[in-house]
Amino acid sequence: MPEGHVSHRNAGLWQERLTGHVVREARSRDPRALALGIPGRLEGDAVTGAEARGKHHLMRFASGRVLHTHLRMTGVWRLVPAGRPVRSTGLTLMLRFDHATAVLYSCQGIRLLEPGEPLPPGIRALGPDLLHQATDPAGDTVAALRAIDPGREVGEAVMDQRVVAGIGNVYKSETLFLAGVDPWRPVGSLTDAEAAAIGTIACDLLHRGVAEPGSITTYDPPGRVWGRPRGEKWVYRRAREQCRRCGTPVRSRGQGDDNRTTYWCPTCQT
């Protein structure tokens, strides 16, 4: 599942490259998008800005309409040069501009809000976005974790976008490893320093994800050679492999109502 860094990276690209440009053609092969008339409602409209709220994408138009997308498990946005062929398989929405084409694939979460229509409840209920400029990653995370049921497991709580927004399954495991926090501990057992570290580390990792396209990378081997394949991590998807710090086998187990797999080192995380 795309995490918060993806929505912020895409919003930054749209803000830089699409603001002020007119949608010359809009097309879709998605039954929901077609039933809602989204392509026809966007043709001829101009982009006025873009932003991310947690994992949500918002593209704003001169008409006052707002295109809201959430990539969920499978969706992906691409921004390609004008004239490049666009594959039709899995096409949710294509927006062609004079200089570029924005293409959305395999996205189940799409809607077009009319002028003045409020943002969906899922956005309004978000916790502090760790990538938002106004967020204090340490202080806001401490406050958010203190405000919820102290019996909730830390690994489940930080994935709840109503608590803090932006952390997905990869960043959950990597953040808690780097913070030295056992994901199975109750939230109420965290010290303020531990809760602050979770927010600060997650924010740093998410910012790195925004700056580095491609697979999420959180671990840099000593002596990394430029051009070496990236995407290496401390514990995520390394079950039964040796911890990169202490050598203890990494463990994994499903967690939370959605049974998302959590990875952790039982020695380094207490």
What pLDDT was estimated at residue 224?
65
Last residue of a domain, one of 124, 150, 176: 124
Q: What is the mean pLDDT of the chain?
A: 96
The two three-digit tokens of residue 212, written as one number: 């580095």
What pLDDT was estimated at residue 2?
83
Cα(155)–Cα(263) distance, integer angstroms: 10
Q: In sequence order, what E strands does the chain have? A: 25-27, 47-53, 56-61, 66-70, 76-81, 91-96, 100-105, 109-113, 251-255, 260-264
Last residue of a domain, one of 93, 124, 155: 124
| CATH code for the domain of 30 | 3.20.190.10
What pLDDT was estimated at residue 146?
98
Residue 131 lies in a domain: no
Per residue in 97-144, pLDDT tens? 999 999 999 999 999 999 999 999 999 999 999 999 999 999 999 999
Alpha helices in 158-239 (DSSP H): 169-179, 192-211
Residue 132 lies in a domain: no
Confidence (pTM):
0.94
Residue 129 lies in a domain: no
Tell me the pLDDT band of 230, cut-offs 50, 70 and 90: confident
Per residue in 169-203, pLDDT tens? 999 999 999 999 999 999 999 999 999 999 999 99
Residue 3 main-chain phi, psi, to 5 deg: -105, -175
Cα(164)–Cα(128) distance, integer angstroms: 5
Q: Is the pLDDT of residue 6 over 80?
A: yes
Per residue in 39-71, pLDDT tens? 999 999 999 999 999 999 999 999 999 999 999
Alpha helices in 27-162 (DSSP H): 31-35, 38-42, 121-124, 137-146, 154-157
Please give the residue range of the domain that contains residue 234: 137-264
What pLDDT was estimated at residue 229?
53
- Let me know whether 208 and 100 are in one domain: no
What pLDDT was estimated at residue 228?
56
Cα(99)–Cα(229) distance, integer angstroms: 31
Last residue of a domain, one of 124, 153, 168: 124
Q: Is the pLDDT of residue 35 over 80?
A: yes
Number of domains in the chain: 2
Length reported for the chain: 270
Cα(212)–Cα(113) distance, integer angstroms: 31
